[in-house]
A and B are shown apart, each in its own frame.
Chain A
Amino acid sequence: MKKDIYEKMDILANSAKYDVSCSSSGSDNNYKTGELGATHNSGICHTFTADGRCVSLLKVLLTNYCIYDCSYCVNRSSNSDIPRAAFSPRELADITINFYKRNYIEGLFLSSGIISSEDHTMVMILRTLKILRHEYKFNGYIHVKLIPGSSNELTEQIVNLANRVSSNIELPSDKSLKLLAPNKTKKSVLQPLKFARDVSMEKGKKPIGMSTQLIVGATPESDKDILKLSSALYDKALLKRVYYSAYIPVNDNNKNLPSTITKPPLVREHRLYQADWLLRFYDFSYDEIVNDDNPNLDEELDPKTFWALNNMSYFPMEINAVSKEELLRIPGIGARGVQKIINARRFKSLDFEDLKKLKISLKRAKYFITCKGKYQKEVPFYKDVIKTAIIEPKKKKIITPNLFDLAYSNITGEL
């Protein structure tokens, strides 16, 4: 039976949803007069799903038919009882344009199962892009998931039409890949990314933005392994973003994977993102955040606080004296807070009250700073004491005097 378009949308959006990447940021092309669409440097979220994720792009699979058999994936070929569907390139291009005009989306995020062969799949993706770019004159954002193992010529054509391409590494080591994704190797996943970078560099322009995704919690790799890999990818300027996805078990017949009753490790995913931010915007190196003694991120404390508590010799920092780089290391103070402090201290020397007035959160920062040489009084500067104070902040006691509370009346003489 032929499926109607709503059913197709249901199936193909559903099977793309575990891919977390959905940003439309970092590319600012100017609009062209008489054409449709433009990208926005900061990215724009058009709505938020019931799980609280931003929807920026129409994120669908072209098809969820797949010849691969990756254990962690819903669309694996041996899952014979799931519904399958496919958009035609024309159909998908029409939906994209109509969604875009109504301001539902910033553009298209196109990925696909492997249908008959890698190259055939890429040709279908390319056809969709050509309709959008050439026929409909669409300048909005397009992100394409490259198909590992497809030919270089096709990759090159895609790179020329898309704003961003990606290829998901999924698992941080070759061993895990072999176990769970027998048709993929780390090399076959990274190869299209390297090629795409080279192609876009050749044209003398900025290299095309690229990203990848790592699954967290499906295999035994530690956070150290994961962050080491991310940091290597950032250092080589291969990638703009690494996404982390807490593994949500979808198949129940593989003893190498957590079963479907396991809860996804959401806190771990959150901490990994925090650490990732430290790598990209706070000038941390991965071995400052995790090392052989602490191969995994602390669940109770964010990585910056954790680092600070293990490097107490740098603290407390004098807010009026230290450099911008040092300010960035203070737990609880982010890039914006640092900018405010720098702007404000040009005019006067700051005390705790001034920081409060600037609406800088002192919840964690107050244990690590001095203002004009003064340190806060409630909690002494010892690692363990500060740690307890941060994890279990003292609740403010609300005292409600009551008629029969003799202790009160004894001391004060009042009821």
Chain B
Amino acid sequence: MILVYDKSFEGFLTLVFKVYYEKLKPIRILKEMPNELFLDDFIVIENNEEHSQKVLDALKKKFSKDNFQRILNIFMCDSKDFELDLLNYIIIGFKNQKELANINNSSLFNILNIEKELFRHIHKMEGFLRFEELDDGTLYAKMQTKFNVAFFLGKHFFKRLNNQKYIIHDINRKIAFIKNDNFLGIQNIASYEEPKLSEDEEKFKKLWSQFFQSVSIESRKNDRCQKNQVPLLYRTYMSEFYKR
């Protein structure tokens, strides 16, 4: 049996409800109807607010704070097929919270590893995200990330750019974390224009590239090591890697 849901958190919670009350045993969970042909039955989950709310309340009641947070975190890893493992995680957690620490179970081990991958990705982006100063002083960063990390980054930069206005724009997911005098949080961005940069922007980019060039030691050059540390994927918006 294959279940199909609509990618949303509510959709997944409805799925959990159905699995429990209709005793379903899915072998796969998909985010959309596949193009290929499968021999198994398909069930398309229709979102149901009442059912998803029930599951959410139960999760909050039954799961410890960390274990519950983990479910939300895993959901941010939208480019991974985590659904079946997360379903197992929830089923095991409802039976016995202590059992969730048993990493011999491959579902639980996978969930922990996906979460670790998420944290690693966030940590990398905390370092590699680049802001540009706009002419009104707002700091603006574009990014294309494998997971949905805008909220985590927004929280991180709230501490360090506390007296600044900033926007962290996730181009692919069409959302942005915005902090200004009137708003703090995630917003949908349907379309956007390239904003105008401040006068100083060019100068500091150039200084930064100069610094970057000057600190590397020619006799210890190691391209492969550099590529391992900053994979090309991350370099799109890192100006020090632009060819001049």
Q: A6-B210, A58-B211 are in contact. Are A343 and B159 (CB under 8 A)?
A: no
Q: A10-B214, A52-B222 are in contact. Are A102 and B208 (CB under 8 A)?
A: yes
Distance A6 CA – B206 CA, assembled complex (angstroms): 8
Secondary structure type dominating chain A contacts:
loop
Write the residues of chain A forming the contact surface with B, with a CB cutoff of 8 angstroms. 5-6, 9-11, 13-14, 16-18, 30-38, 40, 42, 44-55, 58-60, 95, 98-104, 137, 140, 248, 263-264, 266, 340, 343-344, 346-348, 354, 357-359
Nearest 10 CB-CB pairings of A with B: A52-B225, A49-B216, A13-B214, A31-B159, A51-B220, A48-B229, A50-B216, A52-B222, A38-B159, A347-B102
Q: A51-B220, A343-B101 are in contact. Are A37 and B240 (CB under 8 A)?
A: no
Q: Does B106 contact A (CB under 8 A)?
A: yes
Distance A346 CA – B157 CA, assembled complex (angstroms): 39
Contact of A354 among B104, B129, B228 (CB under 8 A): B104
Q: Does B243 contact A (CB under 8 A)?
A: no
Residues from chain A with Cβ under 8 Å of B139 in the complex: 101-102
Tell me how far the C-beta of B233 lies from the nearest C-beta in chain A, rounded to whole angstroms: 14
Tell me how far the C-beta of B93 lies from the nearest C-beta in chain A, rounded to whole angstroms: 15
Tell me how far the C-beta of A272 lies from the nearest C-beta in chain B, rounded to whole angstroms: 16
Most buried by A among B106, B207, B211: B211
Subset of 24 A-B contacts with CB under 8 Å: A6-B206, A9-B214, A13-B211, A13-B214, A14-B214, A31-B159, A31-B162, A36-B161, A36-B162, A40-B126, A45-B127, A47-B230, A49-B217, A50-B216, A54-B229, A59-B215, A60-B211, A101-B131, A102-B131, A102-B132, A102-B133, A104-B130, A264-B220, A358-B103
Distance A10 CA – B210 CA, assembled complex (angstroms): 6
A357 touching B109, Cβ below 8 Å? yes
B104 touching A344, Cβ below 8 Å? yes
Closest B residue to A37 by CB, please name it.
Answer: B160
Residue tally, chain B, CB below 8 Å to A: 51
Secondary structure type dominating chain B contacts:
helix
Q: A45-B127, A49-B212, A101-B131 are in contact. Are A347 and B104 (CB under 8 A)?
A: yes
Distance A199 CA – B140 CA, assembled complex (angstroms): 41
A47 touching B128, Cβ below 8 Å? yes
Q: Does B238 contact A (CB under 8 A)?
A: yes
Residues from chain A with Cβ under 8 Å of B213 in the complex: 10
Besides A16-B215, A49-B226, 5 other CB < 8 A contacts? A6-B206, A36-B162, A48-B226, A50-B223, A52-B225
Tell me how far the C-beta of A4 lies from the nearest C-beta in chain B, rounded to whole angstroms: 10
Closest B residue to A14 by CB, please name it.
Answer: B214
Q: Does B61 contact A (CB under 8 A)?
A: no
Tell me how far the C-beta of B10 lies from the nearest C-beta in chain A, rounded to whole angstroms: 33
Most buried by B among A32, A38, A48, A348: A48
Q: Does B221 contact A (CB under 8 A)?
A: yes
Distance A46 CA – B160 CA, assembled complex (angstroms): 15
Interface string of B81-121 (1 = CB under 8 A from A): 00000000000000000000111101001000100000000
Q: Does B123 contact A (CB under 8 A)?
A: yes
Residues from chain A with Cβ under 8 Å of B164 in the complex: 36, 101
Distance A9 CA – B103 CA, assembled complex (angstroms): 50
B162 touching A5, Cβ below 8 Å? no
Q: Which of B127-164 contact A (CB under 8 A)?
A: 127-133, 139, 141, 157, 159-164
Q: A51-B217, A51-B220, A344-B103 are in contact. Are A46 and B162 (CB under 8 A)?
A: no
